[in-house]
Amino acid sequence: MDIRTIMSPEPISARPEWPVRRALELLVQHSISGLPVVDGENRIVGVVSERDLMALFGSSSAKDVAALMTRDPITLAADAPLVDAVDCLMAYDFRRVLVHEGGKLVGVVSRADLMPVILELLLERDTSA
Protein backbone atom coordinates (compact mmCIF):
# COMPACT_ATOMS: atom_id res chain seq x y z
CA MET A 1 0.00 0.00 0.00
CA ASP A 2 1.36 3.44 -0.87
CA ILE A 3 0.72 6.86 0.59
CA ARG A 4 -1.56 7.86 -2.28
CA THR A 5 -4.18 5.35 -1.09
CA ILE A 6 -4.80 7.13 2.22
CA MET A 7 -3.70 10.73 1.70
CA SER A 8 -6.18 13.58 1.69
CA PRO A 9 -5.88 14.91 -1.86
CA GLU A 10 -5.89 18.59 -2.84
CA PRO A 11 -5.29 20.02 0.62
CA ILE A 12 -6.05 23.61 1.49
CA SER A 13 -2.83 25.54 1.10
CA ALA A 14 -1.38 29.01 1.58
CA ARG A 15 0.94 31.19 -0.45
CA PRO A 16 4.11 32.71 1.03
CA GLU A 17 3.08 36.26 0.15
CA TRP A 18 -0.30 36.03 1.90
CA PRO A 19 -0.91 38.06 5.03
CA VAL A 20 -0.63 35.94 8.18
CA ARG A 21 -4.25 36.72 8.98
CA ARG A 22 -5.45 34.95 5.83
CA ALA A 23 -3.63 31.73 6.78
CA LEU A 24 -4.95 31.93 10.32
CA GLU A 25 -8.50 32.41 9.05
CA LEU A 26 -8.17 29.22 6.96
CA LEU A 27 -6.97 27.23 9.98
CA VAL A 28 -9.91 28.42 12.05
CA GLN A 29 -12.50 28.10 9.27
CA HIS A 30 -11.51 24.51 8.40
CA SER A 31 -10.54 23.36 11.90
CA ILE A 32 -7.08 22.30 10.78
CA SER A 33 -3.72 22.67 12.50
CA GLY A 34 -1.43 23.47 9.60
CA LEU A 35 -1.20 24.50 5.97
CA PRO A 36 1.19 23.57 3.18
CA VAL A 37 2.71 26.67 1.60
CA VAL A 38 3.09 26.55 -2.18
CA ASP A 39 4.33 28.85 -4.91
CA GLY A 40 2.43 29.83 -8.05
CA GLU A 41 3.27 26.48 -9.67
CA ASN A 42 2.04 24.46 -6.67
CA ARG A 43 5.60 23.56 -5.61
CA ILE A 44 5.99 23.02 -1.88
CA VAL A 45 8.03 25.84 -0.33
CA GLY A 46 7.05 25.50 3.31
CA VAL A 47 4.47 24.69 5.92
CA VAL A 48 2.81 26.94 8.49
CA SER A 49 1.37 25.46 11.65
CA GLU A 50 -0.53 26.54 14.73
CA ARG A 51 2.80 26.58 16.54
CA ASP A 52 4.26 28.98 13.97
CA LEU A 53 1.26 31.25 14.27
CA MET A 54 1.38 31.23 18.06
CA ALA A 55 4.63 33.19 17.71
CA LEU A 56 2.42 36.20 16.96
CA PHE A 57 1.60 36.35 20.67
CA GLY A 58 5.28 36.74 21.44
CA SER A 59 7.71 39.14 19.91
CA SER A 60 7.07 38.25 16.28
CA SER A 61 6.02 41.08 14.02
CA ALA A 62 5.64 38.86 10.95
CA LYS A 63 3.24 40.22 8.38
CA ASP A 64 3.25 37.47 5.75
CA VAL A 65 3.23 33.67 5.75
CA ALA A 66 6.82 33.50 4.44
CA ALA A 67 8.08 35.15 7.62
CA LEU A 68 6.56 32.47 9.86
CA MET A 69 6.58 29.29 7.80
CA THR A 70 9.00 26.42 8.15
CA ARG A 71 10.94 26.33 4.89
CA ASP A 72 11.82 23.17 2.99
CA PRO A 73 9.64 20.85 5.08
CA ILE A 74 10.07 17.10 5.07
CA THR A 75 7.83 15.64 2.37
CA LEU A 76 7.07 12.20 1.00
CA ALA A 77 6.42 11.03 -2.55
CA ALA A 78 2.88 9.87 -3.31
CA ASP A 79 4.15 6.45 -4.37
CA ALA A 80 6.23 5.90 -1.20
CA PRO A 81 5.21 2.96 1.00
CA LEU A 82 2.72 3.72 3.75
CA VAL A 83 5.25 2.68 6.37
CA ASP A 84 7.33 5.74 5.37
CA ALA A 85 4.46 8.00 6.47
CA VAL A 86 4.16 6.19 9.80
CA ASP A 87 7.92 6.40 10.36
CA CYS A 88 8.00 10.11 9.50
CA LEU A 89 5.05 11.06 11.70
CA MET A 90 6.47 9.14 14.63
CA ALA A 91 10.13 10.08 14.26
CA TYR A 92 9.46 13.81 14.03
CA ASP A 93 6.26 13.92 16.11
CA PHE A 94 4.47 15.60 13.20
CA ARG A 95 0.70 15.84 12.91
CA ARG A 96 0.90 15.72 9.15
CA VAL A 97 3.34 15.19 6.31
CA LEU A 98 3.05 16.79 2.88
CA VAL A 99 2.82 14.53 -0.15
CA HIS A 100 4.24 15.49 -3.52
CA GLU A 101 4.72 14.35 -7.09
CA GLY A 102 7.76 15.97 -8.66
CA GLY A 103 7.88 18.57 -5.90
CA LYS A 104 4.28 19.66 -6.44
CA LEU A 105 1.75 19.30 -3.66
CA VAL A 106 -0.78 16.52 -4.26
CA GLY A 107 -1.92 15.67 -0.74
CA VAL A 108 -1.39 15.45 2.98
CA VAL A 109 -1.22 12.42 5.26
CA SER A 110 -2.21 13.04 8.84
CA ARG A 111 -2.20 10.85 11.90
CA ALA A 112 -6.00 10.66 11.56
CA ASP A 113 -5.64 9.31 7.99
CA LEU A 114 -3.63 6.39 9.39
CA MET A 115 -6.13 5.34 12.07
CA PRO A 116 -8.44 3.31 9.76
CA VAL A 117 -5.40 1.43 8.39
CA ILE A 118 -4.13 0.67 11.89
CA LEU A 119 -7.61 -0.48 12.95
CA GLU A 120 -7.81 -2.79 9.93
CA LEU A 121 -4.41 -4.29 10.80
CA LEU A 122 -5.50 -4.88 14.39
CA LEU A 123 -8.74 -6.53 13.27
CA GLU A 124 -6.83 -8.80 10.90
CA ARG A 125 -4.41 -9.70 13.68
CA ASP A 126 -7.30 -10.52 16.07
CA THR A 127 -9.08 -12.76 13.57
CA SER A 128 -5.92 -14.67 12.66
CA ALA A 129 -4.99 -15.40 16.26
12, 30 Cβ separation under 8 angstroms: yes
Per-residue pLDDT, averaged over 114-122, amounts to 90
Global pTM value: 0.89
Between β-strands 96-101 and 104-110, what pairing exists: parallel, antiparallel or unpaired? antiparallel
- Determine the structural domain holding residue 77 and report its residue range: 3-128
pLDDT value at position 129? Answer: 60
Q: What's the CATH code of the domain at 51? A: 3.10.580.10
pLDDT value at position 57? Answer: 80
Per-residue pLDDT, averaged over 23-28, amounts to 95
Q: What is the pLDDT of residues 82-96, one digit of tens each?
A: 999 999 999 999 889
pLDDT value at position 58? Answer: 73
Contacts of 89 (CB under 8 A, 6+ apart): 95, 96, 97, 109, 111, 114
pLDDT value at position 71? Answer: 96
Per-residue pLDDT, averaged over 64-89, amounts to 95
Q: Which amino acid is at 88?
A: C
Residue 59 confidence class, pLDDT cut points 50, 70, 90:
low
Distance CA 64, CA 81 (A): 35
Mean pLDDT, all residues of the chain: 92
| Number of structural domains the chain divides into | 1
Q: Which amino acid is at 25?
A: E
